[in-house]
């Protein structure tokens, strides 16, 4: 786990706190497997607790309810994606665009978390789903930095901001969409290669329109 809340090695802990952190990690890993397999509605706290080897009341000692468990799972996945690899999403510009390919590589290696994300994303469009606001915020939070990275990479203020925002949305859509193909038929697609090709092609398209607004 990447966050100090779930990684027992991230900060010095006493024996009791370390046991608690290890237990939280086990619960999160079990929840990822169970939700990925059965969906959010089908994954009961009792089933998650049984998989870990504890009672449901013991699970609630670590997570106050099912929704808080879901929230931490999603935050954990994002933390891994943001910092995994040799580049960082937070660097911006071309480095951010390169990081998208590394994120796809990471997702192909950790198919459990990828399946969890894909299941929850599909379910989130249903009314009242607890992950709906998370995904709305996530997509807003992705489109803007990808747009800024594209603007930096193109380095031409004459390029239409609408075009760039549409390109950012397309990149995000491809990254999420190709996951379903990968999960349904592992080995049928190379998610990292598809992501990198998409970024290259759409960036080239933006550059081809550079300076043409006045034509």
pLDDT in tens, 63-83: 989 988 988 888 877 776 666
Name residue, tokens 């059965």: 38
Residues of the domain holding 3: 1-65
Number of domains in the chain: 2
- When pLDDT is averaged across residues 94-102 and rounded to a whole number, the result is 92
Asked whether residue 121 falls in the same domain as residue 204, the answer is yes
**DSSP per-residue string spanning 134-161:** HHHHHHHHHHHHHHHHHHHHH--TTS-H
In a domain, 184, yes or no: yes
In a shared domain, residues 97 and 21: no
What is the rounded distance in angstroms from the CA atom of residue 8 to the CA atom of residue 38?
28
CATH code where residue 60 lies = 1.10.10.60
Burial status of residue 32 (CB atoms within 10 A of its CB: 0-12, 13-18, 19 or more):
buried
Query: Is 74 within the bounds of a domain?
Result: no
Q: Are residues 91 and 21 part of one domain? A: no
Report yes or no on 128 lying in a domain.
Answer: yes
Q: 95 and 46, same structural domain?
A: no
**Claim: this prediction has a pTM higher than 0.75:** yes
* Residue corresponding to tokens 């509605």: 41
- CA atoms of 211 and 214, how far apart (whole Å): 7
Q: Are residues 116 and 42 in the same domain?
A: no
Report if residue 134 sits inside a domain: yes
- Within the chain, residue ranges assigned H as helices are 15-42, 45-52, 56-62, 66-83, 93-109, 111-123, 132-154, 161-184, 191-208
Q: What is the pLDDT of residues 104-129, one digit of tens each?
A: 998 898 888 889 899 999 999 999 99
Tell whether 23 and 126 lie within a shared domain.
Answer: no
């Amino acid at each position: 786990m990447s966050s100090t809340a779930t990684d027992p090695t991230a900060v010095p802990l006493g024996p009791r706190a370390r046991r608690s952190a290890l237990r939280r990690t086990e619960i999160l890993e079990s929840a990822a497997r169970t939700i990925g397999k059965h969906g959010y509605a089908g994954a009961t706290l009792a089933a998650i607790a049984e998989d870990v080897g504890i009672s449901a009341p013991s699970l609630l000692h670590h997570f106050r309810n099912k929704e808080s468990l879901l929230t931490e799972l999603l935050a954990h996945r994002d933390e891994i994606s943001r910092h995994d690899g040799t580049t960082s999403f937070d660097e911006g510009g071309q480095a951010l665009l390169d990081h998208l390919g590394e994120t796809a590589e990471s997702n192909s290696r950790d198919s459990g978390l990828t399946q969890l994300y894909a299941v929850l994303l599909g379910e989130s469009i249903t009314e009242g789903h607890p992950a709906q606001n998370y995904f709305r915020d996530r997509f807003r939070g992705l489109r803007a930095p990808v747009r800024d990275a594209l603007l930096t990479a193109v380095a031409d203020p004459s390029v239409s901001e609408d075009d760039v925002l549409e390109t950012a949305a397309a990149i995000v859509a491809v990254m999420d969409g190709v996951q379903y193909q990968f999960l349904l038929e592992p080995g049928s697609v190379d998610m990292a290669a598809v992501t990198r090709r998409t970024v290259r092609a759409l960036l080239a398209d933006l550059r081809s329109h550079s300076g043409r607004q006045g034509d």
